[in-house]
Amino acid sequence: MRWLLLLFIWVPICFLAAPSQPKAEDPPVPPEVALAGATLAPLGSPANQPWLTLGLLAYAENLDAHFPAELRTLPLYPPTGDLLSSVPWFSLGLTRLDDVERLIVLDPMAFVEKCQNRYDESVHGYTCTFFKHEVVRLSKTSSKQRAPETIAVCFREEPRYSVYFKWVKGGEPIPRRTLYVAGQNQGKLVLPLPEPFNLQDPEGTEAKKRSRYPITQFGMRMGMQHLFESWRGSQLAHVNLSVRYLGKQTPPDDDQLGYKIESIREEPEPLDGVTRADLYVSVKDLLLIRSELYAKNPGGDDERRIAIYHFKDIKLNPEFDAGQFDPEILESN
């Protein structure tokens, strides 16, 4: 037993006597980085440590810098919450995000409001090529997949909400042109047909056979408003909602660079049945330029695409001719 006792005494002495190796010093954390981390989260709370990491990443001038080991191990836990549960914290460490991207990641609702405010301040009308490919609802239990449609559009917000459609590809043989102006033409959709068939209810049965959404809800601003109401409705109804930012991408068959966002609801939207939406918001103007909507197949977990809406060749705030939104335009072109 003596030799065991000597061993226990001798080994610690050897360690104490051994020369210590100098510890490599880590580069200091930039003051603005430390300040950002301290501002964004209460330090010492493990549940909020990702906020410290975000502060470091968001304000660091060099994301390749070697921060102290205790910072490199963060985050320990993702923050909980309706929208923040899907924040890709580890991906944030791999890329540099601009101000708008950070807003999308941290507060998607605030991002949508920013887009709406930007539109209201700067957009009064536009022309565009509008592509849509959708499933229309014929009744509560039946639907129909329509062929793809390409439409030349003139749209005006003021002084009256006004929409002019001219089909380029797809659509019905008749009509090839339609016009809607809020508060005019008895509030009806105007078609180039003999009276009384030239006026139709924009939300009536015939209109619903041609489009999933009525012309009274057309436009990039309306699409963003629908998105905001869907997300807000999910929160109020305590429906799990995942919003993921997928980076800057160009939509199919387009060269507009956009912020791509995926939105997934645990339960279908009450009125439309949508469970997933892939969205493209233009980097240049914060316009909702493409929406792809998906719903679950009846009686199964698989999903199917029920609609694509794509705005291309957009020209903002053009000078429209005086008669652009008069019924006579349907006869002249």
DSSP 8-state code for residue 300: S
* List of domains in the chain: 24-79 (no CATH), 119-332 (2.50.20)
- Which helix (H) or strand (E) element contains residue 129? strand 125-137
Residue 325, φ and ψ in degrees, nearest 5: -115, 25
Q: What are the pLDDT digits (tens) for 233-289?
A: 888 888 888 999 898 999 999 999 999 999 999 888 887 889 999 999 999 999 999
51-65, 117-131, 180-194, 247-261: least confident range: 51-65
Q: How much is the pTM? A: 0.73
Are residues 190 and 327 in contact, defined by beta-carbon separation less than 8 angstroms? Answer: yes
DSSP per-residue string spanning 61-101 = S-TT----HHHHT--SSPPPSTTGGG--HHHHTTS---HHH
Higher-confidence position of 130 and 7: 130
Higher pLDDT, 107 or 24: 107
Q: In this model, does residue 6 exceed pLDDT 90?
A: no
Q: Give the list of residues 6+ apart from residue 255 with CB closer than 8 angstroms, or none.
A: none
Q: How far apart are the first and last CA of the chain?
A: 108
> CA–CA separation, 73 vs 124, rounded Å?
49
Q: What is the mean pLDDT of the chain?
A: 79
d(CA 69, CA 72): 5
Record the tokens describing residue 113, joined without a space. 């409001």
How confident is the model over 149-159, as pLDDT tens digits?
Answer: 999 999 999 99
State the pLDDT at residue 69: 42
* Mean pLDDT value across residues 304-308: 94
Taking a C-beta distance cutoff of 8 angstroms, is the pair 312, 129 a contact? yes
